[in-house]
Structure 1
Amino acid sequence: MTKKELEHPSLDIVESKGTELSGRKIVLCVSGSVAAYKSIELARLLMRHGAKVTCVMSGASTKMIQPDYMKWATGNDVITKLTGKLEHINIADYKKSDLIIVYPATANTLGKLANGIDDTPISTVLTVGFGSKTPILMALAMHASMYENAAVKKNISFLKNKIDFITPNMIEGKAKVSEPEEVLDYVLTKFGLSSKLHGKKILITAGPTIEQIDPIRAITNQSSGKTGVSLAKELVSSGAKVTFVYGPGNEKPPKGAKIINVVTSKEMHTAVKKELKNKFDIVIMAAAISDYVPKNPSKKKIKSSNTNLTINLKKAPKIIDDIKKIQKNVLLVGFKAETNVTNIQLIKSAKRKLKDSSSDLIIANDIGTKRYKKNSQNNQIIVVDSKRSIVSGWMKKEKIAKIIKKQIELKL
């Protein structure tokens, strides 16, 4: 994606509702049906879930909606004619796109694809895509009598095992095109995103907490929030409904999740208990929450003239210990960090926490090793449950998040 494309204001919505389609390139072909106006909303829905959308418009459709509308909607130039730039090859040849959607698809467009006719930009794009085995999805729209025409039925029959169709809605004597939301659901399923986590309600905490000593000074830890943010992105990409309670970490929170920003351990505890009034399927406690907080924080700056300073700390409540008391049947995933211990010691510590918190999984790691201090973008975890322990190996935290997600899916 070029710098110019990144600056297009329409791209601000990308991944605003989820990251399920991130990295996916989708070609949206708009043919000459009165339902063409709905293609604008479909393009925006696909983008909100992460897709890059390139639009191809027929001559008839440009009489109903201006190409500038689609350019505004997608942030990309609209193809209305084929030139020496070989637009049809650039978007529909082998592995150039992940999916071609015809929305709405007329009987005319259907017939041209079924019979190898490519005399328009859309039909030529479809011919190339059909030959390169790029997946094609047609959302049909026409009068009921046209839909019942023997030739149309023959064309559908010929193509039905070669491309995908979304059945139109039969209303008032018309085979009306499916709604954009229906097409989006179909696309998500097409890409295998209806996983075990799809539709699950997940509460996840991440990042550090900060505890004030006085209005200027504070106690905190070095957590960046990267593992929690990476895991939340994976969950959103799987179609989960994620609530993300986030301390002041360095990583940008994931798009598509409900974000609740907190600072202190008390604020995090309050936010988690408030959210648990709603029913969740999974709770993941990935935050590095302060174990101790100042007993009597000063309301004024403590003078720096003192030679010695004593700060009294008190133990903060363990938020994870309250989860199963509030929601007994929730799948609970905890994190356990240690420093400079053996794997055997780390597993033993994780199993103790597993029992004390009634967790279903504990993600344990050693953050005191030399290689972690040298490069905290990587890590090694041990996934511990009541029956087994799995060591991940040393890898990037983004891959760690994928492993954790997989283990959660297996628990479901």
Structure 2
Amino acid sequence: MNTIRTTLAGKEIVLGITGSIAAVDGVKLAHALRRCGADVQGVMTSAACGILHPDAITYATGHETLTRCGGLVEHVTYCGDGGSADLLLIAPATANTICKIAHGIDDTPVTTFATTAIGSTTPVILVPAMHESMYRHPGVRACLETLKEWGITIVDPRIEEGKAKIADTDQIVHETERALSGMPLLGKTVLITSGPCRERLDDVRVVTTRSTGKMGRELAREASRLGAEVWVVHGDILSVPHVRNVYAESAGDMLNSILRLCAEHTFDYYISAAAISDFAPAVHEGKIPSGQNISVDLLPQPKIIQEVMQAENRPKIIVGFKLGWKSREEAQHLLDAGADMVAANTPDTLGADCGAYELITRDSCVHAEGTKAEVAEHLWQHLL
């Protein structure tokens, strides 16, 4: 599903495309940036035009693609001092283009835009794509290091099949979001628990909830977009992108992982977004026979957030999630115990793409409603 986001709303991005076969991904990338709210202007080298027709990028961006720097000095208009562009994104960036930029050589529209942007301190992101042997060339590596020293963001390629393939579109968009967010969480560490817990009933069955982990994933993505280093503890088969994933299936596994991480690291934020099991069934060995009534004893589980609040190296800011926001008293005891915020919601938000939450602190109660991506943005804005 293509999710509409607003993380790049109001931002103007110049998309430079150079002569790698990965230029064919330019249409997909332009669409992805626009779905986040960005205004995208395409710039292509002649080599790129031999692989992908400029009309395709014009269609994807809604602006006439630039294939030369003309009398209107477009490179200055967009990327010069006081230029309108918020960022220059070169994807793909060939070895040829990378080395030219590092040596201030301007012989294509893209390299001219790059020199202008670097001189005016317009943010620049480069996304290399080439054969792996070219990527290993000491001259190319040296140029990449030079560009990093200049403050240019390099989105590392995927090394596959003897090629340094262009990074996934999602990764490129995420790095663009980070670069334009101002990164208020840069240098901060965030620990998030996400998704359901699965408690073993017998050798086949488990007891769980309707939670899917969507809220936790969006909270993690937003924290990373804002510059934080993020750990997510969850039982999802799919990894949460852009963060460190720690697998934990049951409430006991999750508690052990959280306490271990808190002992090993100092966290600035802990967000308990998981639907952690309050009870675990008494385990039946083997498989319970079907076709008959059974009774199952449910055993209470420890409250992970309580354990975290009492940990010796507890995170500085702790946020809990609580079902039942219509009764503020249900959230108040978490605040009294040491939580800094409680995001209270109703059961219909479990597994849904959207939801309504009350963000409760000791001094305020703010309503947040919309997609879980929008709620995650709102929650982090409230915490900063």
TM-score (norm 2): 0.63
Distance 1:395 1:321 in 2: 29
User: Does structure 1 retain, via aligned residues, the 8 Å contact 2:183–2:225?
Assistant: no
Matched with 1:349 is: 330
User: Does structure 2 retain, via aligned residues, the 8 Å contact 1:213–1:219?
Assistant: yes
CA deviation after TM superposition for structure 1 residue 258, in Å: 1.1
2:281 to 277, 287, 294: 294
The answer to whether 1:234 aligns with 2:227 is no
Distance 2:339 2:261 in 1: 18
Aligned partner of 1:376: which letter? A
Aligned partner of 2:153: which letter? L
After superposition, what is the alpha-carbon deviation per residue over 1:311-342, rounded to whole angstroms, capped at 9, x for unaligned?
1221111111122323245211111113xxx7
User: Does structure 2 retain, via aligned residues, the 8 Å contact 1:364–1:381?
Assistant: yes
Aligned partner of 1:391: which letter? H
User: Does structure 2 retain, via aligned residues, the 8 Å contact 1:246–1:260?
Assistant: yes
Distance 1:80 1:364 in 2: 55
Distance 1:134 1:125 in 2: 17
Distance 2:233 2:50 in 1: 46
2:265 to 265, 278, 294: 278
Matched with 1:318 is: 303
Matched with 2:49 is: 79
CA deviation after TM superposition for structure 1 residue 268, in Å: 1.1
Aligned partner of 2:278: which letter? D
Aligned partner of 2:366: which letter? I
**Where does structure 1 lack aligned partners over 5 or more consecutive residues?**
1-19, 32-36, 59-66, 68-77, 98-117, 147-158, 167-175
What does residue range 122-201 of structure 1 map to in structure 2 within 5 Å?
122-124=68-70, 127-131=73-77, 133-135=83-85, 141-142=102-103, 163-164=120-121, 178-180=146-148, 182-184=151-153, 191-201=179-189
TM-score (norm 1): 0.59
User: Does structure 2 retain, via aligned residues, the 8 Å contact 1:88–1:125?
Assistant: no
User: Does structure 1 retain, via aligned residues, the 8 Å contact 2:194–2:216?
Assistant: yes
Percentage identity across aligned positions? 21
After superposition, what is the alpha-carbon deviation per residue over 1:120-161, rounded to whole angstroms, capped at 9, x for unaligned?
x45349833544654276996559xx9xxxxxxxxxxxx799
**Where does structure 2 lack aligned partners over 5 or more consecutive residues?**
1-6, 35-39, 90-99, 106-115, 124-142, 155-174
Provide closer, same or farther for how the CA distance between residues 55 and 86 of structure 1 changes in structure 2, counting only shifts above 3 A.
closer
1:377 to 353, 360, 375: 353
User: Does structure 1 retain, via aligned residues, the 8 Å contact 2:69–2:75?
Assistant: no
User: Does structure 1 retain, via aligned residues, the 8 Å contact 2:196–2:209?
Assistant: yes
Distance 1:401 1:326 in 2: 28
CA deviation after TM superposition for structure 1 residue 24, in Å: 8.2
User: Does structure 2 retain, via aligned residues, the 8 Å contact 1:200–1:240?
Assistant: yes
The answer to whether 1:405 aligns with 2:380 is yes
Q: What secondary structure, in the 3-state scheme, does the structure 1 residue paired with 2:181 have? A: coil
Matched with 2:364 is: 388
CA deviation after TM superposition for structure 1 residue 376, in Å: 3.1
User: Does structure 1 retain, via aligned residues, the 8 Å contact 2:178–2:226?
Assistant: no
Q: What secondary structure, in the 3-state scheme, does the structure 2 residue paired with 1:266 have? A: helix
User: Does structure 2 retain, via aligned residues, the 8 Å contact 1:201–1:281?
Assistant: yes
